[in-house]
Protein backbone atom coordinates (compact mmCIF):
# COMPACT_ATOMS: atom_id res chain seq x y z
CA UNK A 1 0.00 0.00 0.00
CA UNK A 2 1.41 3.39 -0.93
CA UNK A 3 1.59 6.27 1.53
CA UNK A 4 -0.53 8.34 -0.85
CA UNK A 5 -3.57 6.18 -0.15
CA UNK A 6 -3.42 6.73 3.61
CA UNK A 7 -5.50 9.54 5.05
CA UNK A 8 -4.18 11.02 8.26
CA UNK A 9 -6.25 13.26 10.48
CA UNK A 10 -4.53 15.07 13.33
CA UNK A 11 -5.74 17.83 15.60
CA UNK A 12 -4.09 21.21 15.74
CA UNK A 13 -3.54 23.24 18.87
CA UNK A 14 -5.85 26.23 18.53
CA UNK A 15 -8.56 28.04 20.42
CA UNK A 16 -11.85 26.17 20.17
CA UNK A 17 -15.34 27.58 19.79
CA UNK A 18 -16.74 27.97 23.29
CA UNK A 19 -15.20 28.01 26.72
CA UNK A 20 -12.59 25.82 28.28
CA UNK A 21 -13.20 24.94 31.90
CA UNK A 22 -10.33 24.21 34.24
CA UNK A 23 -11.41 22.12 37.22
CA UNK A 24 -8.71 22.31 39.88
CA UNK A 25 -8.39 20.50 43.19
CA UNK A 26 -7.60 22.64 46.23
CA UNK A 27 -5.89 19.71 47.98
CA UNK A 28 -2.14 20.01 47.37
CA UNK A 29 -2.75 23.55 46.10
CA UNK A 30 0.97 24.33 46.33
CA UNK A 31 1.32 22.00 43.32
CA UNK A 32 -2.04 22.34 41.57
CA UNK A 33 -1.96 26.16 41.51
CA UNK A 34 1.23 26.00 39.45
CA UNK A 35 -0.49 23.62 37.03
CA UNK A 36 -3.46 26.00 36.77
CA UNK A 37 -1.10 28.85 35.95
CA UNK A 38 0.58 26.73 33.28
CA UNK A 39 -2.77 25.78 31.75
CA UNK A 40 -4.04 29.37 31.72
CA UNK A 41 -0.80 30.67 30.25
CA UNK A 42 -0.87 28.05 27.49
CA UNK A 43 -4.53 28.68 26.65
CA UNK A 44 -3.95 32.43 26.39
CA UNK A 45 -0.79 31.94 24.30
CA UNK A 46 -2.79 29.84 21.84
CA UNK A 47 -5.58 32.34 21.25
CA UNK A 48 -8.13 31.49 23.94
CA UNK A 49 -9.43 34.80 25.30
CA UNK A 50 -9.61 35.21 29.07
CA UNK A 51 -13.41 35.44 29.12
CA UNK A 52 -13.51 31.93 27.59
CA UNK A 53 -11.55 30.38 30.45
CA UNK A 54 -13.58 29.24 33.44
CA UNK A 55 -11.75 28.15 36.60
CA UNK A 56 -13.67 25.99 39.07
CA UNK A 57 -12.10 24.83 42.33
CA UNK A 58 -13.08 21.56 44.01
CA UNK A 59 -11.94 20.11 47.35
CA UNK A 60 -9.72 17.33 45.96
CA UNK A 61 -8.96 14.98 43.09
CA UNK A 62 -11.82 12.66 44.02
CA UNK A 63 -14.31 15.45 43.24
CA UNK A 64 -12.89 16.23 39.79
CA UNK A 65 -15.11 13.79 37.82
CA UNK A 66 -18.45 15.07 39.16
CA UNK A 67 -17.72 18.72 38.48
CA UNK A 68 -16.08 17.87 35.14
CA UNK A 69 -19.28 16.05 34.18
CA UNK A 70 -21.47 18.99 35.18
CA UNK A 71 -19.35 21.35 33.12
CA UNK A 72 -19.03 19.04 30.11
CA UNK A 73 -22.83 18.83 30.00
CA UNK A 74 -23.05 22.58 29.41
CA UNK A 75 -23.46 23.69 25.79
CA UNK A 76 -21.05 26.63 26.21
CA UNK A 77 -18.15 24.42 27.32
CA UNK A 78 -15.95 23.04 24.53
CA UNK A 79 -13.53 21.14 26.79
CA UNK A 80 -12.60 20.51 30.39
CA UNK A 81 -9.14 20.35 31.90
CA UNK A 82 -9.08 18.37 35.16
CA UNK A 83 -6.11 19.22 37.39
CA UNK A 84 -5.14 17.64 40.67
CA UNK A 85 -2.29 16.07 42.59
CA UNK A 86 -2.28 12.86 44.62
CA UNK A 87 0.94 12.11 46.48
CA UNK A 88 1.49 8.59 47.81
CA UNK A 89 1.40 8.22 51.57
CA UNK A 90 1.61 5.32 53.98
CA UNK A 91 -1.93 4.03 53.34
CA UNK A 92 -3.97 2.72 50.40
CA UNK A 93 -5.84 6.05 50.22
CA UNK A 94 -3.61 7.09 47.29
CA UNK A 95 -4.72 4.11 45.20
CA UNK A 96 -8.42 4.72 45.75
CA UNK A 97 -8.33 8.45 45.08
CA UNK A 98 -6.03 8.26 42.05
CA UNK A 99 -7.89 5.32 40.52
CA UNK A 100 -11.35 6.80 40.94
CA UNK A 101 -10.27 10.22 39.67
CA UNK A 102 -8.75 8.64 36.58
CA UNK A 103 -11.68 6.35 35.84
CA UNK A 104 -14.24 9.07 36.47
CA UNK A 105 -12.55 11.65 34.27
CA UNK A 106 -12.26 9.14 31.45
CA UNK A 107 -15.92 8.21 31.80
CA UNK A 108 -17.00 11.87 31.59
CA UNK A 109 -15.22 12.33 28.29
CA UNK A 110 -16.74 9.17 26.80
CA UNK A 111 -20.26 9.95 28.01
CA UNK A 112 -20.29 13.57 26.81
CA UNK A 113 -18.19 13.29 23.63
CA UNK A 114 -16.21 16.26 24.88
CA UNK A 115 -12.50 16.42 25.58
CA UNK A 116 -11.69 16.13 29.26
CA UNK A 117 -7.93 16.46 29.58
CA UNK A 118 -6.40 14.42 32.39
CA UNK A 119 -4.01 16.52 34.42
CA UNK A 120 -3.89 14.64 37.70
CA UNK A 121 -0.40 14.03 38.99
CA UNK A 122 0.12 10.77 40.84
CA UNK A 123 3.54 10.83 42.43
CA UNK A 124 5.48 9.11 45.16
CA UNK A 125 6.99 12.30 46.58
CA UNK A 126 6.38 16.03 46.90
CA UNK A 127 9.57 16.64 44.94
CA UNK A 128 8.24 14.62 41.99
CA UNK A 129 4.99 16.57 42.07
CA UNK A 130 6.75 19.94 42.13
CA UNK A 131 9.00 18.91 39.23
CA UNK A 132 5.92 18.08 37.11
CA UNK A 133 4.23 21.37 38.01
CA UNK A 134 7.27 23.57 37.44
CA UNK A 135 6.77 26.60 35.25
CA UNK A 136 10.37 26.21 34.07
CA UNK A 137 9.91 22.89 32.28
CA UNK A 138 7.34 20.15 32.00
CA UNK A 139 4.29 21.82 33.54
CA UNK A 140 1.59 19.16 33.26
CA UNK A 141 -1.19 21.77 33.45
CA UNK A 142 0.22 23.38 30.31
CA UNK A 143 0.38 19.94 28.68
CA UNK A 144 -3.26 19.25 29.57
CA UNK A 145 -4.28 22.57 28.01
CA UNK A 146 -2.56 21.57 24.77
CA UNK A 147 -4.40 18.23 24.81
CA UNK A 148 -7.77 19.93 25.34
CA UNK A 149 -7.29 22.32 22.42
CA UNK A 150 -5.95 19.63 20.08
CA UNK A 151 -8.79 17.24 20.91
CA UNK A 152 -11.40 19.95 20.27
CA UNK A 153 -9.92 20.50 16.83
CA UNK A 154 -9.65 16.76 16.12
CA UNK A 155 -13.28 16.11 17.07
CA UNK A 156 -14.33 19.07 14.91
CA UNK A 157 -12.45 17.56 11.95
CA UNK A 158 -14.09 14.19 12.59
CA UNK A 159 -17.45 15.95 12.81
CA UNK A 160 -18.19 14.40 16.19
CA UNK A 161 -21.22 15.95 17.81
CA UNK A 162 -21.00 16.42 21.54
CA UNK A 163 -23.75 16.67 24.07
**Residues designated catalytic:** 93
Tell me how long the chain is: 163
| 8 Å CB contact between 98 and 122 | yes
Number of alpha carbons in the 13 Å side-chain half-sphere of residue 39: 31
Sign of the alpha-carbon torsion through 96, 71, 79, 139? negative
Nearest C-alpha neighbor of 112 from the set 160, 146, 56, 52: 160
What is the C-alpha separation between 129 and 123, in angstroms, rounded? 6
* 19-25 β-sheet, strand order: 53-58, 19-25, 77-87, 116-123
Amino acid sequence: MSAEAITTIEGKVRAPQGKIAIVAARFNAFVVDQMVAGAQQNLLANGVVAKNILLVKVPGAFELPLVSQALAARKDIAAVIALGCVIRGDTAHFDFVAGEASAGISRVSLETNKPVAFGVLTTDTVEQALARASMDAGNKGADAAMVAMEMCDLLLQLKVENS
